[in-house]
Amino acid sequence: MKVINFGSLNYDYTYQVDHMVMPGETLASRGLETHCGGKGFNQSVALARAGIPVCHAGMVGEDGGTFLEICRKEGIDTQFVRTCPGKSGHAIIQVNPAGENCILLYGGANRRNTPEQIEEVLSHCEAGDILLLQNEINLLGELIRGASERKLRIVLNPSPFEEKLLGCGLERVSIFLINETEGMQMTQKTEPEEILSALGRMYPESEFVLTLGEKGVFYADGKGERLYVPACPVKAVDTTAAGDTFTGYYLAGMLQGKEKQELLKRACAAAALAVTKVGAAASIPYAREVDAFLSE
Ligand code: RIB
C-alpha cells in the first residue's frame, strides 16, 4: 500500500510580532525567518519523520528547487512534483508572543496543477492506496472523484476550509482530520460533541479526528465509537504546522497498526513538540524525539 500526498508547497515568511496587524495599521515586526512549509509539504515531512514512505505530488515554480532538495534529504519521493513557470506558493505568517499565528496565502504554483498531472499520479495508484489531501491546491474535486473511482482511501485535512469544498464529493472521504474552526465552519455547530454528531450525519461512512489544540482531540466514527485524548501541555512558541504534524503522525500510527488511543496520544505528543519550535516543516519532530518525549 502506498501513501501519496497531493498537496501544497509554500515558502513561509514568518514574522514575529507583538500583536497581529490590524486594519489600517502599520506594524514593525521583531524578526523574520523563512522556512519551507505548506500544509501538503509539512504533512509529507511529518509522515517521513514518523517512518512512513511517502510520495509527494504537487507543483512548484521555477524557484522551487529547495523543496525538492529537502524532500530528497527526508526520503520523500518527488517523482510527481512538477515545476511550472512563475513562482511557488508562499505564506506570510505572523506569530505573536503566545505562539499563535495568522496566515496569508499566495497560491502560486499550487493552483496550477493540471488534469493530466492528476491522471498520471492516479494511474500509478492501486486500490487500497492512501491519497492524502489538504485544501491548498486546485482541482481537489477532480482528485477526490478520480481517487474514489480507483478505490483509493482518501484522507482529507480540509484546511483551510472554504464553502465550495462541500461540493467536492466529500462523502467519498474515508478519514477527515479537522480542527475546531473547520469543524464549526463545516457544521455550523460550536461544541465538539455537536460537531462530531453533525459530521457523522453528513458523512456516515467516514471517520473523524477533531483536534482542539490545547484542549486535546476527539475521534469518532459512524458506528458510534468515540474517544478523547488530552493534549500534552507545553510552552508554545509557534503553533505553525502543529495540525500538519498531527495529521502525519496520526496517519503514520494508523499504518503502523497502532491501537487508536495510542496513535492519538502519539500524534498529540508530536504536535506538542512541533509547537515548541519556530517554523513549519523545520519544527516537526522525528519519531525518536516523540518516543523520548512520551517516555518522560
Ligand atoms: O499549516 C501550516 C502551513 O499553512 C504553513 O506552512 C503555511 O505554508 C500554510 O500553508
Shortest-distance atom of ligand 1 to CA 10: 8
Contacts 24+ apart (CB under 8 A), 126-130: 126/2, 126/150, 127/151, 127/152, 128/1, 128/152, 128/153, 129/1, 129/2, 129/3, 129/4, 129/153, 130/1, 130/2, 130/3, 130/4, 130/154, 130/155, 130/251, 130/255
Distance CA 288, CA 50 (A): 9
Q: Which domain holds residue 189?
A: 3-295
182, 153, 189: which is closest to 165 by C-alpha?
182
Whether 152 and 131 have beta carbons less than 8 Å apart is answered as: yes
What are the tens digits of pLDDT across the range 250-266? 999 999 999 999 999 99
Q: What is the CATH number of the domain that holds 110?
A: 3.40.1190.20
Closest ligand 1 atom to Cα of 40: 10
Q: How far is the CA of 121 from the centre of ligand 1 (A)?
A: 23
Residues 6 or more apart whose CB falls under 8 angstroms from that of 42 comprise: 241, 244, 245, 248, 280, 281, 284
Determine the pLDDT at residue 223.
85
Give the distance (Å) from ligand 1 centre to CA of residue 98: 18
**227 vs 220: CA distance, rounded Å:** 7
Cα–Cα dist 229/106, whole Å = 34
* pLDDT at position 1: 79
Which of 9, 36, 42, when mutated, tests ligand 1's pocket best, judged by the most ligand atoms within 8 Å of its CB?
A: 42
pLDDT score of 224: 86
CA–CA distance, 193 with 236 (Å, rounded to integer): 26
- Pairing type for strands 130-133 and 3-6 reads parallel
CB distance 182 to ligand 1 below 6 Å: no
The whole-angstrom separation of Cα 197 and Cα 190 is 11
pTM above 0.85, yes or no: yes
Q: What is the pLDDT of residue 198?
A: 96
- Interval between CA 4 and ligand 1 midpoint (Å): 19
**Residue 92 in contact with ligand 1 by CB distance below 6 A:** no
Condensed to tens digits (0 to 9), the pLDDT of residues 16-68 reads: 999 999 999 999 999 999 999 999 999 999 999 999 999 999 999 999 999 99
Checking if the pLDDT of 194 tops 90, the result is yes
Instruction: Given the residues 12, 18, 244, 291, select the one marked as catalytic.
Output: 244
Residue-level pLDDT at 232: 95
Number of compact structural domains in the chain: 1
Could you confirm whether 244 is annotated as catalytic?
A: yes
Backbone conformation region of residue 99, classed left if phi is above 0, alpha if psi is from -120 to 50, else beta: left
Q: Sorting pLDDT into bands at 50, 70 and 90, what band is 122?
A: very high
User: In this model, does residue 100 exceed pLDDT 90?
Assistant: yes
- The DSSP call for residue 214 is G
Q: Report DSSP state, residue 277.
A: S
